[in-house]
């Protein structure tokens, strides 16, 4: 059995497979990945080694075809399995930038945002406010006001739909609604369904011991309060049970539980018509991973919702889901340049790359594992040596991949880490005052810069040096 820290390959088995029904989240590399005549990895018609020469490294390389294909598969699956209205909305915390938001919006998606910054970015990308759902467990007054008054660069003022997480926020919104809006503010209530799933402790959000959502034991009081507020329009319920989930049963259970609560709300007098079941579909990070396809996941959620509604005599709600990782995770790779090698006899061989925990904090945060390839020598025999790929930061835990099976590497090789589109750029930092990498979008042989590489000047742009301290320097 192959462990999650190992990748055994005898002929580019990590390249996309042309198997009917497979979706991007089941691939290690973007769908356009291939080996070109120079024996180099090519993505979106662009040679990765040439991209590094042009744009530098580390470098995020995002494939437009893979991202659009994932969006298309979600839309088509809902059209196939759900006879009611369905709207997939992008969980933009996975990667929020203007280009990513623009592509996904053009595919007919709505957006899930969790901060004022994500909301502002989405609006600046041209997304209408009424297609944006605002999350967060501790929204500020300023963030709530921005959501209520949301207007994009084209002057279209459409307030966002606000996912209310707790009593304080509900009370804040009640006050703001009276002051700022001439029409009722659309809200949804986030509940904690008490459903466990097998994923990392930090990314499980549906169990009862969670910072998110109203406790279901007190939901009748919440329904009664909202019913009395003329300036709030409670349109539905929301729940999210976690991330990087391979099981389908928890989502079946979630649909049943949420429809039951929705019926309670309707019976209490609320005009609920939307049901948001969150996201959580996982992706393939290593050869050993076997997530469900997008089609399988959508079928599970749709069928469970239909069955619950039929059982309880409820009309089909507008069904909303929040894919993030499964849309963009496999669409991106990170290219590094290999540097120093250290051999600890009988223990370990380290190879260092020019990035690490500042551009990919997931290994040190979640103990996440990845696959990798040497982009400039794709025909080199695999599994020649077992190495630990180390980052350049001053931290012993800055390990990109532990016990990776790779060809024998040399200084200057281009090492590509797979499936880095979700939570890598969005969680990146300037630890050790290291500049965050550039990101490029590749499509049909064209490479466009979508995020500029930070400069040293960028690192001190927000710094302030009091004049009294300047005088003491000279």
Active-site amino acid positions: 394
Cα gap 277→160, rounded to integer Å: 18
Tokens read off for 446:
């064209």
Cα gap 435→167, rounded to integer Å: 40
Cα gap 128→286, rounded to integer Å: 37
Taking the alpha carbons of 192, 193, 194, 198 in that order, is the dihedral positive or negative?
negative
Nearest to 151 by CA among 177, 126, 115: 126
Cα gap 267→261, rounded to integer Å: 10
Q: Give the burial string for 159-186 (b: 16+ CB within 10 Å, else e).
A: bbbbbbbbeebbebbbebbeeeeeeebb
Give the strand order in the sheet containing 41-43: 34-35, 41-43, 46-47
Cα gap 370→364, rounded to integer Å: 12
Residue 473 pairs in a beta bridge with none
DSSP, residue by residue, 347-397: TEEEEEES--TTT--HHHHH-----EEETT-TTSPSSSEEEEEE-SSS-TT
CB 132 within 8 A of CB 111: yes
Rounded to the nearest 5°, which phi and psi values hold at 360? Answer: -145, 85
Nearest to 195 by CA among 179, 208, 184, 212: 208
- Dihedral of CA atoms 124, 125, 127, 132 in degrees, nearest 10, equals -70
Residues 6+ apart with CB under 8 A from 45: 32, 442, 443, 444, 445, 446
């Amino acid at each position: 059995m192959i462990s999650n820290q190992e990748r055994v390959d005898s002929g580019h088995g990590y390249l996309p497979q042309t198997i009917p029904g497979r979706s991007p989240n089941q691939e290690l590399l973007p769908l356009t990945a291939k080996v070109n005549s120079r024996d180099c990895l090519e993505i979106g018609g662009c040679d990765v080694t040439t991209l590094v020469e042009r744009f530098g490294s580390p470098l995020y390389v995002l494939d437009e075809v893979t991202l659009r294909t994932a969006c298309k598969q979600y839309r088509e699956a809902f059209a196939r399995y759900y006879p009611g209205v369905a709207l997939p909305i992008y969980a933009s915390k996975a990667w929020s930038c203007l280009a990513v938001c623009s592509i996904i919006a053009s595919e007919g998606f709505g957006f899930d945002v969790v901060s004022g910054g994500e909301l502002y970015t989405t609006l600046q990308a041209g997304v209408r406010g009424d297609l944006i759902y605002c999350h967060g467990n501790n929204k500020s007054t300023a963030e709530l006001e921005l959501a209520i008054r949301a207007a994009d660069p084209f002057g279209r003022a459409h307030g966002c739909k606000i996912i209310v997480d707790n009593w304080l926020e509900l009370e804040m919104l009640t006050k703001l609604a009276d002051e700022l809006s001439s029409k009722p503010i659309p809200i949804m209530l986030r509940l904690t369904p008490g459903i466990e799933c097998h994923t990392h402790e930090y990314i499980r959000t549906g169990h009862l011991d969670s910072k998110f959502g109203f406790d279901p034991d007190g939901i009748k009081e919440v329904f009664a309060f909202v019913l009395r507020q003329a300036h709030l329009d409670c349109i539905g319920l929301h729940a999210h049970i976690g991330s990087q989930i391979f099981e389908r049963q928890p989502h079946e259970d979630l649909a049943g539980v949420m429809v039951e609560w929705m019926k309670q709300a309707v019976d209490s007098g609320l005009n609920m018509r939307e049901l948001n079941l969150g996201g959580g579909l996982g992706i393939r990070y290593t050869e050993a991973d076997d997530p469900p396809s997008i089609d399988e996941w959508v079928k599970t959620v749709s069928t469970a919702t239909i069955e619950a509604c039929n059982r309880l005599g409820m009309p089909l709600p507008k069904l909303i889901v929040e894919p993030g990782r499964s849309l963009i995770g496999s669409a991106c790779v990170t290219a590094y340049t290999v540097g120093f090698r250290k051999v600890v006899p009988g223990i370990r061989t380290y190879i260092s790359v020019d990035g690490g925990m500042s551009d990919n904090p997931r290994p040190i945060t979640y103990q996440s594992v990845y696959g990798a390839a040497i982009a400039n020598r794709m025909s080199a025999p695999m599994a020649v040596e077992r190495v630990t790929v180390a980052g350049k930061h001053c931290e012993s835990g800055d390990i990109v991949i532990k016990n990776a099976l790779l060809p024998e590497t040399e200084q200057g090789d281009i090492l590509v880490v797979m499936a880095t589109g979700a939570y890598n750029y969005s969680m990146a930092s300037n630890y050790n005052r290291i500049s965050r990498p550039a990101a490029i979008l590749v499509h049909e042989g064209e490479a466009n810069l979508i995020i500029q590489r930070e400069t040293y000047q960028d690192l001190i742009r927000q710094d302030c040096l009091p004049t009294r301290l300047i005088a003491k320097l000279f």
